[in-house]
Copies of this chain bind each other. A is one copy, B any other.
Amino acid sequence: MTSAPMPVLVILAGGISRRLWPLADKSFIRFFDEHLFAMQLSRFVKLGYNDIIVIANSENAELIRQDLLQIPNIGKFHVLVQLEPKGMGDALLLLKHLVAESGNRPIYVVQVHDVFDIAAHSDVLNAYASREGVSYLLAKQVQTYFPGGYLIVDSEMRARGIVEKPGSGNEPSNLVTLVAHLHCDPSSLLSTIEEEYGRSEQSSTDDHYERAMTRLMAIHDFRVIPYTGVWCAIKYPWHILDVMDYFLSGISENETRIASTAQVADTARISPYGVVIEEGARIMNGACIVGPSFIGSRAIVGNNALVRGSMIGADSVIGFGSEVARSHIGRNVWFHTNYVGDSVIADNVSFGSGAITANLRLDENRIGSQIGAQKLDTGRTKLGAMVGFGTRVGVNAVVMPGIKVGSDSRVGPCVIVKNDLDDGSVIVVKQEVDIFPNNAK
């Protein structure tokens, strides 16, 4: 037996980001001004992956390709397009020819929007190096019930099955499956998935991949790799804040780094640790940057503004007297005497003076957010606004906690936005006034 070959990385980036509205494709959310896709890829390249297959959709494939070309030392890659969002099994079947061509070389299946500690991926590689199993599944060890797929494991940590959302108290283990699956026999896997697609009676669900794995567990050695580190999945827009926090925590103890062409005014103050300020950025007098925070290229933090625990995209202006706290701000965003807290703001958005994102309910209860017909508990007591690309928010307007404002919209002055606002909408307040002579003049 030769030494184990480096698996082919299969990164799933073709899912539709409908639930991320008003933000757009998960792959291109930026952290440290870099697309999430490119960040993830860079990490895998550093781990040694040099043969990469991306499963994209027809919308993002071209941008995915561009991103790939710019990743240093990227090696060989293919971008496959899943034309319709028909599930992970369907996506993996696109690999058939490549798997055959490669002589059934092992694959490592991950999703672009799942963020783990780098150690998670090293652990999988190390387990694989042991060559004891046929597949290796990363599994999150949970302390409290989480509505995911729980693994049935034997005493030697071999997976024997998956139970979806068993309900609290009925979990077969404390191990929840994550999508970080290393398969040494992808050919068998794909055949089994194909068989599942052949079973017509189950066509209403799209869990063919999970079903195929469950079947294979009976005959193959599926090793479970327990994981206790961070797992952030971007599904809803507020999850972007969790991923941002995770990445920011990674720089929080680093010495502050200010690019050589950035300008920091005399009375501006920047935390000595945990701040990154990129080329051409300007921090004006009286401004404060409290770490961990990231200030993108050519961004301006205006006089007496405050940024803390946030990422500010390139070319954005955090104008005079604004506070941005724990928020993810896109590129070319303009603020002006605003409070923006616990918010996700897409590119090219601007806020008029005095506009505010309320980020705390008066009753301090957890904040809900409308998803379809349902009000979802976001699990957060602090959550501001989520605002789509190109939207303008007028002076003294208020966006209530957990509200989503669509792209290319306009919020008039003094509007209280209490409900989600569709893309391309205008909302204005109908203010009644009385006008009469000033007798005291």
Contacts and interface: CB of A to CB of B under 8 A. Distances in A.
Interface of A: 265-267, 269, 284-286, 288, 303-304, 306, 320-321, 323, 336-337, 339, 341, 352-354, 356, 358, 360, 362-363, 390, 392, 394-396, 398, 400, 408-410, 412-416, 421, 424-438, 440-441
Given A323-B321, A356-B353, A416-B414, A426 B437 contact: yes
Contacts of A415: 431, 433
A363 B410 contact: yes
List the number of copies, as a whole number: 3
Contacts of A432: 429-430
Contact of A433 (B362, B424, B429, B438): B429
Contacts of A267: 267, 269, 286
The 4 A-B pairs of least Cβ separation, nearest first, read A339-B353, A408-B441, A362-B392, A430-B432
A437 B413 contact: no
Nearest to A302: B306
Contacts of A285: 269, 288
Nearest to A432: B430
A114 B258 CA distance: 49
Contacts of A424: 437-438, 441
A360 B352 contact: yes
Contact of A438 (B304, B410, B440): B410
Contacts of A354: 339, 354, 356, 396, 398
A264 B367 CA distance: 35
Name, among A304, A392, A395, A412, the residue most crowded by chain B CB atoms within 10 Å (CB to CB).
A395
B435 A427 contact: yes
A306 B354 CA distance: 15
A286 to B, nearest CB: 5
A303 B303 contact: no
A321 B339 CA distance: 10
Contacts of A288: 284-286, 303-304
B416 A431 contact: yes
